[in-house]
């Protein structure tokens, strides 16, 4: 093996390691009840709340994160978690319950048959025989005249649209539209400007990495009725203020094996996702079996005790990370372009109270950017004193630090957040705490669509002051690269530190996992000292479902933060059981 070939082979291995991260998931003490009972059953309507807000424009050009959850019901990822082989229905090696994290040893090609990564390029080989699935209405209107095969050209066109949209900053310095080329019907290549294994994550597993055909763009990608995918379900209807629904794709390419017999999937005929903004109403819909299933994002820890008491309702406690929340400073504008001001406000924030508010008082205060359990995690007590001080609530010290920074009379700050009840509760608590150090906090609560539009760096966010946000991933390299690197795709703080950028680049390039961990530790120290974000808390999480939902074992994500819809291809409904139970 010559040196170039050896380096290329090592790069492939490195990319897998980096895509996976190095966090060891703790074992799940509460395992899901065995869901298979009898022969699989086709038919029925599966109902669950996917999101609490109205779906925004689905056009990639509009870069609406909130649309991705809905799109993923129809469109698929190139790579996905191999939950049948490694999950609780398989070997049990990994529970597939972490947000934003799929260890590379537990993933497989989905739309892709295979892929290769070298320092020079990323090569994708598309799985032959996958068909786009236009609805009868879409064919009648000429959006797509008839089903046709997914090709490398289709995927390349979507990659280019991704690189040109509002999320384009994540590709800067890594690859661009001129680096994408189609080799043949099933092969495309993307040359690196500078090598980064994150490219395969961005395009293969990340939330936006779901693929639609050029015909959707031509017909008008901002219309839900024009969305076409390759997934197990196709678009049925969107009724504002009510629901979005999807129907079975009878020509879906996927299959599954149950008790040694192969079946075409999906099993259910229809999925209905009601839009219920009020959290109490969402909980009631689950309690009364108007919903069959509940994803953790649509529930809060305050509701768990009520739901746990509901007879026959199944649940599983998540093994890994759940929703995490922090408050980020707008670091490119006064007064928060001054690190001393940011540090003062963090000292003036009582993190213990936020953990109590989240009903998680026993969870660690330090979890960002490296999550506990990761080999690169350094406990708070072992970090330098100038970092430890940030996590010890001291309003008198905070007032002195503000005065030393030039604000003896305090300052006025605006907080951008959502109108969601829990977000407002956190905002009110922050306002109360900061008032004790002379900071007058104005709460700018926005509906979800307006809030999301305010935070995305396209090229810069439109909010000013601070913003309540979060990013759920157990992979520290993902967090560092996307959230805190200069012009990172999710760098809502508009933070920039050349020293941190260099450490991130070094970590992404390092071949030795042990050395990589050491670089991540140094990067975390730089970031933590700078107090870019105040880590308010991360949540406990639970999944709930009724026992007539069969062939489900508590899995949550197969791709990134969205990453759950593919699981629903595998469940079926025991309608006789539901009827006998009185529902």
Helices and strands in the chain: count of H runs, count of E runs:
19, 22
| Spatial separation of the C-alpha atoms in residues 82 and 109, rounded to whole Å | 9
The structure's pTM equals: 0.77
What pLDDT, on the 0 to 100 scale, is given for residue 540? Answer: 75
Planar angle of CA 198, 203, 209, nearest 5 degrees:
130
- Delineate the domains of the chain, giving CATH numbers in brackets: 3-318+541-580 (3.40.190.10), 324-538 (3.10.105.10)
Residue 192 · residue 199 · CB < 8 Å: yes
What pLDDT, on the 0 to 100 scale, is given for residue 252? Answer: 98
| Token digits of residue 265 | 């999937």
Handedness of CA 255, 257, 262, 265 (dihedral sign): negative
Tell me which residues of the chain have a pLDDT lower than 50: 1-35
Residue 33 · residue 314 · CB < 8 Å: yes
What pLDDT, on the 0 to 100 scale, is given for residue 2? Answer: 38
Residue 566 · residue 84 · CB < 8 Å: no
Residues counted in the chain: 583
Q: Packing angle between helix 3-20 and helix 513-530, nearest 10 degrees? A: 50
Task: Output b/e per residue, 445-470; b: 16+ Cβ within 10 A.
Answer: bbebbebbbbbbbeeebebebbbbbb
At residue 282, φ and ψ (nearest 5 deg) are: -60, -45
What pLDDT, on the 0 to 100 scale, is given for residue 372? Answer: 81
CA distances from 294 to 151, 319, 564 (A): 35, 17, 12
Candidates 409, 307, 392, 402; CA nearest to 349 is 392
What pLDDT, on the 0 to 100 scale, is given for residue 37? Answer: 52
- Within 72-151, where are the H helices? 83-86, 136-141
Which residues sit opposite 247 in a β-bridge? 234, 270
At residue 255, φ and ψ (nearest 5 deg) are: -140, 165
CA distances from 504 to 32, 263, 475, 482, 498 (A): 38, 45, 13, 10, 10
């Amino acid at each position: 093996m010559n040196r170039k070939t050896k380096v290329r082979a090592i790069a492939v291995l490195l990319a897998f390691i980096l895509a996976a991260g190095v966090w060891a998931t703790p074992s799940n003490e509460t395992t899901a009840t065995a869901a298979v009972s009898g022969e699989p059953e086709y038919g029925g309507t599966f109902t669950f709340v996917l999101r609490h807000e109205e779906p925004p424009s689905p056009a990639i050009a509009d870069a609406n994160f909130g649309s991705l959850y809905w799109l993923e019901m129809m469109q698929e990822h190139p790579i996905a978690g191999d939950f049948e082989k490694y999950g609780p229905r398989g070997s049990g090696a990994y529970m597939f319950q972490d947000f934003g994290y799929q260890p590379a040893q537990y993933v497989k090609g989905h739309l892709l048959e295979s892929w290769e990564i070298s320092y020079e390029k990323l090569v994708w080989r598309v799985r032959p025989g996958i068909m786009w699935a236009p609805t009868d209405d879409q064919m009648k209107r000429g959006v797509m005249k008839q089903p046709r095969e997914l090709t490398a050209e289709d995927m390349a066109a979507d990659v280019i649209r991704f690189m040109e949209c509002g999320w384009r900053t994540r590709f800067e310095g890594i690859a661009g539209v001129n680096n994408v080329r189609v080799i043949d019907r099933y092969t495309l290549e993307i040359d690196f400007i500078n090598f980064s294994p994150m490219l395969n994550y961005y395009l293969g597993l990340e939330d936006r990495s779901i693929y639609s055909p050029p015909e959707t763009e031509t017909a008008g990608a901002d219309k839900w009725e024009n969305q076409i995918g390759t997934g197990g379900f196709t678009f049925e209807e969107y009724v504002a203020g009510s629901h979005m629904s999807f129907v079975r794709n009878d020509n879906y390419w996927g299959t599954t094996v149950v008790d040694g017999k192969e079946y075409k999937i999906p099993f259910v005929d229809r999925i209905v996702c009601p839009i219920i903004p009020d959290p109490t109403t969402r909980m009631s819909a689950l309690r009364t079996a108007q919903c069959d299933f509940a994803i953790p994002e649509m529930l809060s820890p305050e509701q768990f005790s009520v739901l746990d008491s509901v007879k026959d309702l199944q649940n599983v406690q998540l093994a890994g990370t759940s929703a995490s929340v922090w408050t980020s400073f707008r670091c490119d504008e006064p007064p928060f372009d001054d690190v001393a001001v940011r540090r003062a406000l963090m000292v003036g924030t009582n993190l213990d109270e936020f953990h109590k508010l989240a009903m998680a008082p026993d969870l660690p205060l330090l979890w960002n950017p490296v999550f506990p359990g990761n080999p690169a995690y350094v406990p708070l007590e072992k970090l330098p004193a100038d970092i430890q001080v940030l996590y010890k609530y001291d309003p008198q010290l905070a007032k002195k630090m503000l005065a030393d920074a030039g604000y003896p009379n305090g300052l006025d700050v605006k907080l951008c957040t959502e109108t969601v009840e829990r977000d407002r509760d956190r905002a009110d608590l922050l306002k109360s705490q900061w008032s004790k150090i002379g900071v007058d906090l104005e709460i700018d609560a926005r509906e979800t669509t307006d809030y999301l539009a305010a935070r995305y760096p396209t090229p810069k966010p439109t909010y000013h002051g601070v913003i309540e946000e979060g990013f759920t991933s157990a992979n520290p390299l993902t967090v560092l690269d996307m959230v805190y690197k200069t012009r990172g795709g999710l760098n809502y703080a508009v933070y920039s530190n050349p020293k941190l950028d260099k450490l991130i680049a070094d970590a992404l390039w390092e071949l030795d996992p042990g050395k990589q961990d050491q670089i991540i530790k140094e990067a975390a120290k730089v970031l933590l000292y700078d107090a870019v974000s105040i880590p308010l808390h991360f949540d406990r999480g639970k999944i709930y479902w009724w026992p007539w939902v069969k062939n489900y074992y508590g899995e949550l994500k197969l791709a990134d933060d969205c990453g759950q819809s593919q699981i629903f291809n595998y469940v079926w409904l025991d309608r006789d059981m539901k009827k006998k139970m009185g529902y």
